[in-house]
Amino acid sequence: MEILAIIPAREGSKGIPLKNIKKLAGKPLISYSIDIAKKSKLINRVVVSTDSKKIASIAQKLGADVPFLRPKNISKDNSSTQDTIIHALNYLENNESYIPDIVIILQPTSPLRSMENMNKAIRKLKREKADIVLEISKIKSHPYRSFLPNGKFLKPFKKNFLKYYQRQMFPIQYYPTGEVYVFWAHNLNKFGNIYGEKIQGIIKSDKEVSSDIDNLFDLFICEMRIKYWKQFQKQFR
């Protein structure tokens, strides 16, 4: 099967200008996603979708394909990742007659994703009767404890929220880590979205911390983890 990794890396970012190529532990942020995709024996091709010539140049030097520049009208703050994927697949089909079987989305803002989980997700999609497999993690701040704005006051998200006074009483819920999305390319034509109807997950262990870089502080925390986390852990062994 032809498996295509798409790395969406637009130029604009409110938190950090040109965030996707800012240095993280001495390497451009996008390099972490390109490197892991290229090292995987399951992925056949790595394409970066960007509207920036500068990002495109760096991505090509790192070994990724950048066969096009993404149009600005789908590179805005409110543009969806799905629009980016549709554009990339349409371009590759119309200009190269290239049609992958499976697509994997690797957000460059998640540089510390697990190779094991990424490959597990690919294998699970091929093995199970799923439309998409995504990496997920157990929710820690449960929505049953949250409140909604109600004029100048707040109202509980769950009316009987006092019933759930212990964390163990919450129903298990998961959220997507954003690190891995693997789906059949035909989902977009069949369902009109990448998810389809049968969603499965690869659970990220509690020992693994998700990395989602949105602002400068996130970048700082991620760099500290790369540089010092292993050494810090040794004192507790």
* pLDDT at residue 58 tops 80: yes
Residue found by looking up tokens 């969603």 in the block: 199
Distance CA 107, CA 134 (A): 12
Average pLDDT over residues 203-221: 83
Distance CA 55, CA 183 (A): 26
* pLDDT at residue 162 tops 90: no
pTM (two decimals)? 0.90
Whether residue 91 contacts residue 67, with contact meaning beta carbons closer than 8 Å, is answered with yes
Q: Is 108 helix (H, G, I), strand (E, B) or coil?
A: coil
Distance CA 154, CA 116 (A): 42
Distance CA 202, CA 230 (A): 24
Whether residue 22 contacts residue 57, with contact meaning beta carbons closer than 8 Å, is answered with no
Per-domain residue ranges of the chain: 3-138+173-234
Superfamily of domain 3-138+173-234: Spore Coat Polysaccharide Biosynthesis Protein SpsA; Chain A (3.90.550.10)
- The pLDDT of residue 229 is 83
Distance CA 45, CA 141 (A): 37
CB atoms within 10 A of CB 97: 7
Tokens, residue 224: 């500290």
User: What 8-state DSSP symbol labels residue 145?
Assistant: G
- The pLDDT of residue 86 is 97
Q: What percent of the chain has pLDDT over 90?
A: 71
* pLDDT at residue 178 tops 80: yes
Average pLDDT over residues 15-37: 93
Q: What is the DSSP string of 1-53?
A: --EEEEEE--S--SSSTTGGGSEETTEEHHHHHHHHHHH-SS--EEEEE-S-H
Segment 67-122, tens digit of pLDDT: 999 999 999 888 899 999 999 999 999 999 999 999 999 999 999 999 999 999 99
